[in-house]
Every structure is written in structure tokens, then in C-alpha cells.
Chains A and B, each alone.
Chain A
Amino acid sequence: MTVYLFYLLSFIAILSALMVVFSRNPVYSVLYLIVTFFAIAGHYVLLNAQFLAAVHVIVYAGAIMVLFLYVIMMLNLNTYNEMQKANWLRFGAVVSGCLLMVVLVGSLKGAETMQPGAVHDANIGLVSNLGNVLFKEFLLPFEVSSLLFLAAMTGAVMLGKKSIRS
């Protein structure tokens, strides 16, 4: 049962991820991306990490994608008469894509030697375990992350205000 679900979810995830790239209309791309995120959240549930799945849905599908959709709907990026990209831009895109490919292959090559399923504790994904680890062992990174949020907020406000004025 779990294996079939895994293959079904993977199929949906990959198919919709491909559709994100191939859709002409950016609104469709965003919607396919949401489907991809749901399929990935399903994978988390299969791995017994329900908290992560819920957070994934809340943050990625519920917040980030809302922002994307918002921007795309309001900036009217759905026009078909988009201008031709410059050649150096295409070249840069190809280079960065290849670099990402190298990174992915490199990390996946390392994954082979790793022991799969080294953690067999089924309760590892439970929220109380996560909380205990986060608030006992990783105190400082947690506090630093709040500064990161402050910086993100400041940046967002600065950018937004700047473009309003101009």
C-alpha cells in the first residue's frame, strides 16, 4: 500500500513539476507548483513526519504560493507578448542550470554511501520531539533565526516602499 502511494505521489510530483516549467501561462505554473508541494507533503506523511507535512502545506502552499499568485495576478505577467530574452540571459540561465545539476548530482552521489533509514525511530517526526531538540540543543540558532526574520521584514518593507514612491 505504502509503496503504491509512494509511486503515485512521486508521479504526481514529477508530472506537475514538469508542468510548472512547460506551462505558458505563469498562473498555471503557480497552480502546478502548489500541486507539487502537496505531493511532497504526502511524502512527508508517508515518512511519518506529520508535523513537517503540515508545516510544509501551511508555509509553502499557504503562504509562499499565495504571495506568488498575488504577484503574478497583479503584475499581469500573464501576457503572451513577452519580450524576447537577451542572448546573454539565456546563456546565463543555461550555465546556472548546469551548475545546479552538478550540485544535485554531487549530493545524490554522496547519498549512496549513506545508510538509508539510519533513524528507525518512528516517533522522530513527532512535534514534541522536534520541540525538545529545537529548544534545548539549538537555542542560539533559533534566536539568530529571529534576527533573520527581522532582516527579511525590513528588506520587504524597504523594497515595497521604494517602489511605491517611484
Chain B
Amino acid sequence: MGAGSLIMLFICGVAFAGGGIALSWVLAKSSPNTAKGEAYECGIPSTGTSWIQFNVGYYLFALIFLVFDVELVFMYPWAVVVKEVGMVALVEILIFMFILFMGLVYAWKKGALKWM
């Protein structure tokens, strides 16, 4: 196991990301003023914060994604051993995928997959 290599890469990544930010902080000039510090809205004075409540429909996708992702995780060990286990595994996953697909069809029919 290359845990050592992973740690090394981790250090490299952090050093590069942190070093870049630090270097530009040292090199770049800074002359702040209030106009620069405002949120950009095409030149018009910005109205209010953008941290407001959004429509709940947006995170339906995230919910459905979560369910599918867990199902997907089950399919990896299956795909690795399907040749060993044979026919039983194939039938099993076909049933599994059929039920999964029914869920998708249900969400589809209910209009949950419609982007607003």
C-alpha cells in the first residue's frame, strides 16, 4: 500500500496550493477601496446579500443522487466477482437494477427530474 506516497503527494499538493496563495499575497500590490470590495453585479450597486433562501426543488436532485450513489457502491463489488459467482449474481443484479430503475421512473413521472 502506498500510504507513504499518498502522504507525500498530500504534502506536495498542500505546499503548492498554499505556496501559490502565499506568493501572490507577497508579490501582489494591494490598494483596497470600498467600490472594489462590493459584490459585482454588472456595475449596478448590489441589492442585498445573495445568502437567501432558494427553492426546495433544487436539492431534490441531491437527494435522488444520494440514493443512487449508495446503490452504485453496491454494484462495484458485484462487478468484480460476477464472473466467479456466475448466473445467480447476474439475475440478482438484474432484479436490483429493475427496482432501482422503477425508482427513477417514479421520480421522473412525479416531475422530480424537472429543472426549475
Contacts and interface: CB of A to CB of B under 8 A. Distances in A.
Interface of A: 5, 45-46, 48, 50-51, 55, 58-59, 62-64, 66-67, 70-71, 74-76, 78-79, 127-128, 130-132, 134-136, 139, 142-143, 145-147, 149-150, 152-154, 156-158, 160-161, 163-164
A161 B52 contact: no
B15 interface: no
- How big is the B interface, by class? 35 or more
Given A74-B59, A160-B60, 20 more contacts: A48-B1, A67-B63, A76-B53, A128-B84, A132-B81, A134-B74, A135-B77, A135-B92, A136-B85, A139-B92, A142-B96, A146-B71, A153-B67, A153-B104, A154-B103, A156-B63, A158-B110, A160-B59, A161-B111, A161-B112
Contact of A153 (B52, B55, B58, B103): B103
Interface in B79-100: 80-81, 84-85, 88-89, 92, 95-96, 99-100
A148 to B, nearest CB: 10
A150 B98 CA distance: 10
B67 A149 contact: yes
A70 to B, nearest CB: 5
A36 B84 CA distance: 36
Q: Is the interface of A mostly helix, strand, loop or mixed?
A: helix
A135 B111 contact: no
Given A67-B62, A128-B80, A161-B112, A153 B88 contact: no
A143 B54 CA distance: 37
Given A51-B77, A146-B95, A149-B100, A63 B70 contact: yes
Nearest to A62: B69
A157 B74 contact: no
Contacts of A50: 1
Which 9 pairs show the lowest CB-CB distances between chains A and B? A131-B81, A131-B77, A74-B54, A153-B103, A160-B60, A156-B63, A63-B69, A67-B62, A146-B99
Given A45-B3, A146-B96, A63 B65 contact: yes
B13 interface: no
Contacts of B78: 131, 134-135
Contacts of B67: 149, 152-153, 156
B62 A157 contact: no
Nearest to A159: B63
